[in-house]
């Protein structure tokens, strides 16, 4: 027998994600009897996921209970675990911000608007947990995971574990060289979305020579047929070029959006490096993603409205590749397991401060998550990638803490945003802050702001709801 837990899900209106969570809970017998409280500000989405979840467990005859609320405090009160998958406002304000950035010369946009709003949300959730469920674990499952988890673990006592499934890219690489991914020994350390395959072995044999052989003999044919499928960016020209430059293979998101800016300067450049649709993050690829997302959501709506359909016929009771439920089970029922997580470094990777949240394998049990020792990363990787990435994150977090307008502008002066002039960065920053749903950001980033930078502990931004009908009118919308 296992232990029933109380799980609060913030941003639960994401039907795809939440249904996947329900599937995994249904297949984890040691968590039967648990209560899940879905929280979202979108009442329609909330009703949908609650009804579907209840029908799902009823069809399978499983003892899981579901509640719903639009009040975050109710979802957090006395919880054993909290899962935060929320994206403020959903995709609409993110797309509006991207269009605005494009008008100011930033191709495919700038994430500062989304990032700073997410920092405020994440920090407020962690602070609420200190008060309402101080012994609970927070499983952070929305972006930006690296900066957000670093922020929460520095500024609160809340126990945080960040998760991302990008590390599964190693499986695509293994399949390409003809090795069973389930039999591979791997290590993929770094910081979230910037992780690298430092160990890749099968039965004690180093697999990198087979990767090099695939590049030499198979890559050109693969790229000639490559359509830019989402799962295939792991083997894209960009990923292989980055591997040649750095000396270690980038995995998952490190092979697409978060590699060097010169793979992303315009659509034609993206097509060169990522295939015909320009990869997942081009206007074509992202549009296809949103279109597919809407189709899936529409299908879920149809099932919700048609009580004659069995939900389990549409969403099969099969385990997902997500690891939220296995990690919850490992902690709640003290079942030690090795999982890829994001937690404070605490000496795992040499040369990175202890309070920086890094990603890597960890032993997870009732005591929490303890990273396995990594030691030194390759020097070239640290100099070219990890060091600059940490510096960029620290600049964003400093801007957030201090509300310093000059620091905010300086975040745009980094190479990866391809700013052409100081005036361009200033014009975009002013336009972004002037958006009607960014009242909270305007209040924070007053100008001029030239306060000395010391130790920082500021309260999170108070969210200001967008005007009626504006993108982002929901203060805490689910990610789709």
- Active-site residue list: 165, 253
Residue 231 and residue 293: Cα distance in Å, rounded?
Answer: 16
Whole-angstrom CA distances from 229 to 169, 464, 480 are 13, 38, 20
182-184-187 Cα angle (round to 5) = 120
Structure tokens at 397: 């977090």
- DSSP codes, 101-122: HHHTT-TT---HHHHHHHHHHH
Residue 195 pairs with which residues in a beta bridge?
190, 251
348-378-280 Cα angle (round to 5) = 90
**Which own/partner pairs from 393-399 qualify as long-range (CB within 8 Å, at least 24 positions apart)?**
393/146, 393/147, 393/150, 393/191, 396/112, 396/115, 396/116, 396/147, 397/119, 397/147, 397/150, 397/151, 398/453, 398/456, 399/116, 399/445
User: Measuring CA to CA, which residue among 104, 87, 116, 93 is closest to residue 417?
Assistant: 104
Residue 201 and residue 198: Cα distance in Å, rounded?
Answer: 10
DSSP 466: P
Residue 311 and residue 59: Cα distance in Å, rounded?
Answer: 8
Rounded-to-10 torsion of CA 20, 23, 28, 31? 80
Angle, in degrees to the nearest 10, between helices 43-60 and 283-305: 60
User: Measuring CA to CA, which residue among 423, 420, 422, 446 is closest to residue 433?
Assistant: 446
Residue 155 and residue 260: Cα distance in Å, rounded?
Answer: 31
3-state class (DSSP) for residue 163: coil
3-state class (DSSP) for residue 169: helix
Residue 210 and residue 167: Cα distance in Å, rounded?
Answer: 20
Residues 6+ apart with CB under 8 A from 438: 113, 432
Q: Let me know: does 244 contact 216? Beta carbons within 8 Å.
A: no
Residue 405 and residue 418: Cα distance in Å, rounded?
Answer: 19
């Amino acid at each position: 027998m296992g232990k029933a837990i109380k799980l609060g899900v913030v941003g639960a209106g994401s039907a795809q994600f939440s249904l996947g969570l329900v599937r995994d809970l249904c297949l984890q017998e040691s968590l039967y009897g648990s209560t899940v409280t879905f929280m979202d500000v979108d009442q329609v989405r909330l009703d949908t996921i609650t009804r579907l979840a209840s029908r799902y467990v009823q069809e399978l005859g499983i003892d899981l209970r579901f509640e719903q609320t639009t009040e975050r405090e109710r979802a957090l009160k006395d919880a054993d675990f909290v899962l935060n998958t929320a994206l403020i406002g959903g995709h609409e304000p993110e797309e509006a911000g991207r269009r605005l950035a494009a008008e100011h010369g930033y191709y495919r946009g700038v994430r500062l608007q989304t990032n700073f709003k997410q920092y405020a949300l994440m920090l407020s959730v962690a602070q609420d947990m200190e008060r309402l469920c101080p012994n609970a674990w927070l499983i952070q499952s929305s972006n930006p995971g690296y900066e957000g988890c670093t922020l929460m673990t520095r500024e609160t006592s809340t126990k945080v574990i960040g998760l991302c499934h990008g590390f599964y890219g190693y499986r695509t690489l293994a399949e390409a060289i003809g090795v069973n991914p389930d039999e591979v020994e791997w290590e993929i350390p770094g910081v979230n979305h910037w992780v690298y395959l430092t160990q890749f072995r099968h039965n004690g044999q180093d697999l990198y020579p087979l990767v090099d052989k695939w590049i030499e003999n198979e890559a050109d044919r693969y790229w000639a047929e490559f359509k830019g499928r989402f799962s295939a960016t792991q083997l894209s020209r960009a990923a292989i070029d980055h591997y040649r430059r750095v000396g270690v293979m980038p995995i998952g998101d490190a092979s697409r959006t978060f590699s060097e800016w010169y793979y992303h300067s315009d659509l034609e450049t993206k097509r060169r490096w990522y295939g015909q649709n320009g990869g997942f993050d081009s206007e074509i690829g992202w549009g296809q993603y949103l279109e597919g997302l809407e189709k899936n959501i529409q299908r879920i709506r149809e099932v919700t409205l048609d009580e004659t359909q069995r939900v389990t016929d549409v969403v099969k009771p099969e385990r997902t590749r997500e690891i939220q439920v296995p990690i919850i089970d490992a902690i709640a029922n003290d079942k030690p397991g090795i999982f890829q997580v994001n937690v404070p470094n605490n000496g795992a990777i040499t040369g990175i401060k202890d309070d920086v949240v890094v990603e890597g394998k960890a032993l997870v049990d009732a005591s929490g998550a303890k990273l396995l020792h990594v030691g030194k990363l390759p020097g070239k990787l640290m100099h070219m990638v990890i060091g600059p990435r940490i510096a960029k994150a620290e600049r964003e977090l400093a801007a957030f803490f201090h509300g310093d307008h000059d620091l905010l502008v300086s975040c745009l002066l980094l190479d990866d945003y391809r700013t052409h002039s100081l005036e361009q960065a200033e014009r975009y920053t002013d336009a972004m802050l002037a958006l009607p749903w960014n009242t909270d950001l305007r209040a924070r980033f007053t100008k001029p702001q030239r306060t000395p930078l010391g130790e920082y502990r500021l309260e999170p931004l108070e969210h200001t709801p967008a005007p009626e009908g504006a993108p982002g009118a929901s203060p805490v919308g689910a990610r789709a």
